[in-house]
Structures are given as C-alpha cells and as structure tokens.
Structure 1
Amino acid sequence: MSQEQRQYDIVLYGATGFAGRLTAEYLARAGGDARIALAGRSQDKLLAVRDSLGPNAADWPLISADASQPSTLDAMAAQTRVVITTVGPYTRYGLPLVAACAAAGTDYADLTGETMFIRDSIDHYHKQAADTGARIVHSCGFDSVPSDLTVYALYRKAVEDGAGDLGDTTLVVRSFAGGVSGGTLASMTEVMRTAASDPDARRQMNDPYTLTPDRAAEPELGGQPDLRWRRGAEIAPELAGYWTTAFVMAAANTRIVRRSNALLEYPYGRRFEYGEVMSVGRSVAAPAAAALGAGVNGAVFALGTRFFDKLPRKAVERVLPKAGTGPSEKAREQGHYTVETYTTTTSGARYVSRMSQQGDPGYKATSVLLGECGLALAFDRDKLSDLRGVLTPAAAMGDALLARFPVAEVSLETSRLG
C-alpha cells in the first residue's frame, strides 16, 4: 500500500507518556485536518489522554501497540504515513519500531539522544529504509533540532552570499531554563550503561564521527572535544568577556550535525569543525564556573561510561524519577532557551544563527519541534530532500522546518557579522 492510500497521516506512539501527552496536545492544536491516531499499550490510558485534548481530537482512533510484540508495531506502521514515537529509552525499546517502519516504507520521527541506538539503527536498517523509501529521522526535539537547523541555516545564508564553506562553527547555549523528566534521565543512564558494558561502544562514543555514513571519508581534524571550556572571545568577538563551559548534550548533538554534513554530501565543507558549549556569563566567578562545569561533566561521563554497568539496574531506577513524570505546568510555561551558533567561512565572513523558544526546552519546546517534524514529513513532501534511510532533521527536512518555524513560534534568525 502506498503512503497516499494509508488510513492515517500520523500515528503518535507513546501518547500516554509525559512527552507523548505534550506532543498530542500540540498536534491537537496545530494538526488541522491531519488524520491522527494515538498508540500505546493501554487503551484505557489512551482514552484518558484523548479525552483531555478537546474537540479537535475527539474522533482520533486509538491503536494498541507494544514494543514487546513486534507484530503490533508492524500493523501500526502499515496503516500510517508517519510514526512519531516518544517511547524510550530507545536503546531498550526503539529498534523494533525502526524495523517496522523501515519494512513498511513509513516515515518515522523520534526524540532520542542515544548515540549508540542511532548507530544500531543505521547499521541494521538504513539500507532497507532507503530501499522502501522510508525516512527514519532521529533526534527531532531539543536534541538535536536547534543544533542541526542553526548550522543548516548558516550554510543556506553562506551559499546565498557566496561566502564559501563553513569553517570553525560553535553553538553557544546563551540561556536555558527547564526541568528534567524521568524519561530523559532513563535515556542518559542507558547511554552510560551501554558504554560501560561494551568497550567498542565506548570507543565509538569517543569518535566525533560515530554516526558518519563513511568513516574513512571524514577529515582528521583532531579530537573536537565535546566537554570543553573556552573564553567567549575565542568563539566570536561579540562574546568577549564571556566564559563558556561544557554542554551536557554536546556529545549527541555534534554527531547529528556531522552526519547531516555527510548525508548532504558535505555542503558545509570538508574542513567543517563543530562544537557546543554553554555560556556561564561574564562575572568574576565565570572562569572558575567554566572550568568546574567542564571538569564535573567530564568526570561524570568518564566514570559513568566505564563503571555504570556495575550498578544494579533496579537500585538505579529506585532513585531516579519515574518515567512518565516531568516538570510542572508552571515550570514548563516559564522555561525557555536561546542558542547562538557562530561560524567563520573559508572566505573570512562571519555569521550567527539565533534560535529560541518559550517553554521548557526538553518538554514544551520539544513537543513543538517533534510535532512540526511529524507534520513536515506528512505534508511538506515538496520541501523534503530526496534522501531516504536513517537521516537527521536537517538532511531530511531542513527547508521544510525553516519554513514551518515562524508559524510554530520558533524563532530562528541568521545574520552576517562581518
């Protein structure tokens, strides 16, 4: 059955989880006439979610599907043009759904920041998805849309100006306010557990090109460390006086951006270097805060990826927030983020791309980004790239997302600095 003949435009799998409910709320507001269904293990919980969404979702069908029963995922994927999934940790639950979508030629979008899950998805299902015409798009939330799309916007602007390839490029998190859910912490612990139990996975996670289609084709530009601290002036003159420290999601985001460059056949350039940091301000204490932040993040990552598998899983789960929980509505509304990505091109031109949203980055803002990715895959076919297989947001739908952002109240502006 072709995608155009399918019963649904979008199926939201995991609609009863915390991120899933927020995404359902966004789709109920922004989905228009889209044919949407909600999927999950419990019909009763799905019914409760649907009843909370208001009249726009009153007739949305409910689908029983469970990662432990792959046949239910196969049936779900075959009915829809796009599957959006919020069911994690993806390392534990994600691959059966990727398999179902790859086999059915169904487009897919998720929220994962789990690098080795994405690597497994590529290794097992990229070719099949490319053959069936499926777009398997990982990291469609705060991880890693702001990273991926600000760099893509810089590239588009540099091409427009004839300014050459992108060179040294750095994303700076300028402001960030939000909470952390049980699901996010579960994913982070799964990443460390995988690395700690598998030396090859640990080696791959330390490779800046872990997700590249062809490792041998990548340039050797040094380690490109993920957990760095820098003076702002080293990034751009506009940041003189500021200090920056490690950004906790840099390891995941940077690899997505580098995969985008490779998938798109290196439009950013063969000498493109990319890193991410977080601003700690310009006070007298900022240098110490920058060093401390990088040191703590580095120590946690180094120890976690070597010894986390020695901790009993049940003991860890008892001290973490339960999956399905997250920040309060007030915290979600008050949250926000602003990132600025700076680059200097091979012609010496300097640019910055600023992206911001109101709302908790990991939850309210993420639900908007994930919802828009699903809608773009379903309805913006003329703006999508011709690529198929396991993709990134920029490689699959960079132009479509740039066009969608203003209506979704996602601010992204790119300007030349000199």
Structure 2
Amino acid sequence: MSTATENLQAFRASLLYFRADPAFDDQAHVWHEDGLLLVEGGRIKAAGDHQALAPSLPPGVPVHDYRGMVITPGFIDTHLHYPQTDMIASPAPGLLPWLETYTFPTERRFGDPAHARAVADFFLDELLRCGTTTAMVYCSVHRESVDAFFEASEARELRMVAGKVLMDRHCPEFLRDPVDAGARESEALIGKWHKRGRNLYAITPRFAPTSSEDQLRLAGELARAHPDTFIQTHVSENEDECAWVRSLFPSARSYLHVYDHYGLMRPRAMFGHCIWLDENDFARMADTQSAAAVCPTSNLFLGSGLFDFDKADAARTLLALGTDVGAGTSFSMLQTMNEAYKVARLKGSYLPALRMFYLATLGAARSMQLEGAIGSLAPGNEADFIVLDPKATPLLARRTSHCDTLEELLFALALLGDDRTVRATFAAGRRVHERAAS
C-alpha cells in the first residue's frame, strides 16, 4: 500500500473553506482569490494568500499551478449505498416497491467477495471522480460486503465510514439477518476495521420497519459499548413508510422516537432524509447532537417529499447533504447541491451557494463530529481537497466569465457543474483522480 506524501507540496489556486455556518455567521468563509495551499505528511500545513506565503517556500518545492481554478476541501457525502451502484436509475412508483423490486435482489449478490470488491472499486473511483473524499456508506447484510468495501478504501487511503446493514424482518429470507448473529458480526467488524488506517465503522440498522425490537435493542447496546463509532439509518423518508412505523411501534411518539428509545440518538448518529419530522423531533436531534443527511435527488426521484430547511434551522439541527445512491440519481455533490437548492425553493426557503458548499464540507464534518480532521483547509486537517474548474464545460465557462461575486461563481458551479467540473481530487495529500484537460 502506498503512503501519504511526506515531502512539502504547494498548490496555487483560489482557495475556499469555512470556519462556521454561513446561515448564522456573516464571516463564515475564508476566500483567497490568489491562494497558496501547503501540504506536508498528508496534512494541511498552511493556506493563505500566495503573495504572503510564497516567499517562505524552501527552494525546490514543486508548485502545482491551478490558477483560474478553485481548491476546496473534498466533498463529504453523508448517506449512500454502495451495493445499489448497479441499480441506480431503476423505475418504481415509490420507496417500498422500489426496495422490493430492485434493492433487495441486487443486494443478494454481496455475499460474494469478488463481486462486492468489484463494485466497491467502481463505487469509490466514481466518488473520487466526483470530488467526494469521505462518505458514510451502507454495505449489505453480508460481512463480506463490509470487508470488500474497507479493503478498497484502505487501498486508496480514504477517510470512509461504513457498516454492515442490520435487518431481521420484513425482508426476503435471503437477506434476513439473525438478531444475535448480526450483532456479533457487527462487533467483530468494529474490532477489525474501526480506526484501522482512515476507516471508521457505522452501526447500521437499515430502518425501523426491518429491525425487530430485539435487534434495535442490541444495536443500542453496541452503540453504548463503542461510543466513538457512528450510527446510520433512515427516518421519515416517505409517508407510507411513516404510517408503517406507526403501526409497528404504536407506543412511540414519532418515528424518530423509536430510535431514541433504543439509545440510537447521540453524537455521530446520522439520520437519512428526515422529511416528515416535526419541531419536537428536530429539537431532539439538536439536543442529542444527532444529524440529518438531506438527500434531495432521491427524495425527488421517489416522490418522498421536500426537506424543510427552515424548520431544521430553527432548532439548529446539524445538517449535511447525501446523494443516496442508488435512489439518488447522481454521485455528484454538485448535482446534489443543484437539487437541494430547488427543494429549498419549493418549501419557501433559500439556500445561498456558500451554504451549499458549507453543507458539503465543514457542515458535514461537524455533523459527523470530525471537525478538525476533514472538511477544511485549516492547518492540521487531513489533506483531502479538490480542484474545481470553472471552465470545465463551454456553458460553465461562458457563465463564470460574467460572475461579479464569489456567490455568483459558486452558484454557477453548483447549478451547472458535475463530475466534469472536478479537475483533480487529493486524499491525504496524494492525487487520486485527475481529469485530462480538454
């Protein structure tokens, strides 16, 4: 396995990163139009104006010239499913029939290590092509799927979070996960992979309807026994799903309360969707430092509903963005920003471009309790960053040539950009993707 670059490197470009949420702080972002980023030993050494930093460079240090482009922290995708890579863009009238028709049959194959590794390799390369350097990833119920994913991530030296799905009811027999065996396998996988290299483990009940009360209880016990692991699951995605949960857990105040009852709300808990939560639910998320992964492309694709940014912000709930592949229709966080903006408008909210880039970088790192490690170009952070090309396509080049403000530039990147906009991706200071110049 290769190691992180040990020698000092310099990168010249415009630099953008955040120190706060732009929704609540007018001085939230850092912007150096002609910037210099210094990287050493896989970490950020310095980031600032080129004129100020260049004289301090030792002789012979290579300067990678990306002038005219923008360097930002690598994107962080907080909700997606790698076993669903091959079934992206599968038609269905809603969430539940989509699961039955496509998801479960596709995930059946992930007990085969060779198949799981082939999909994991493609999946991670696709993320890197789109500028995503960290993701919270659902595997399948098979232990082999987790091993394959983390092996592929380790080979690329990526900061990834993943876990084995727990599911012991309301699913095909070929995916049913016995309660005790699922908990034992999860604990063994935590011991094997959590904090090994840059890998981190997530306890992963699929969603409340497919986990019995015994399984949810054991998941909560695992979470208490391993407080620095992550938790990931789904909540309040679809109205039919919410009605199903009410019938299965009639004593619960809300869908979210089911997870709270079993000890699954705490820091490092990430809840996908959160569309149909009420004010009390969002307040509880804020109190427990649980986070919401907003997944606009999948919510629109399945017709699940529109996330309420104003309601979440009123409670100061931790927020991030997720592609939710394969119900999500793109691996690109730029395309996800595009759809998030439209969802917000349809709900009467407005998402500035600065806020969208925050949610995909530092906002996601804060939601994951990983601020100081990823999501920023501040010194000491891991050197995961990307180079965005405002001239990547003819339309983007034409539009960005008329931008008068940073907000206009970022808005054009978010609304018109895609994987072609990502010129290069770096993980732990090492280039892991570069798009050929056109």
- Structure showing the higher strand proportion among its residues: 2
- Structure showing the higher helix proportion among its residues: 1
Larger RCO (CA under 8 A, 6+ residues apart): 1
Place the TM-score, normalised by the shorter chain, in its bin: under 0.3
How does the TM-score come out when normalised to structure 2? Answer: 0.26
How does the TM-score come out when normalised to structure 1? Answer: 0.27
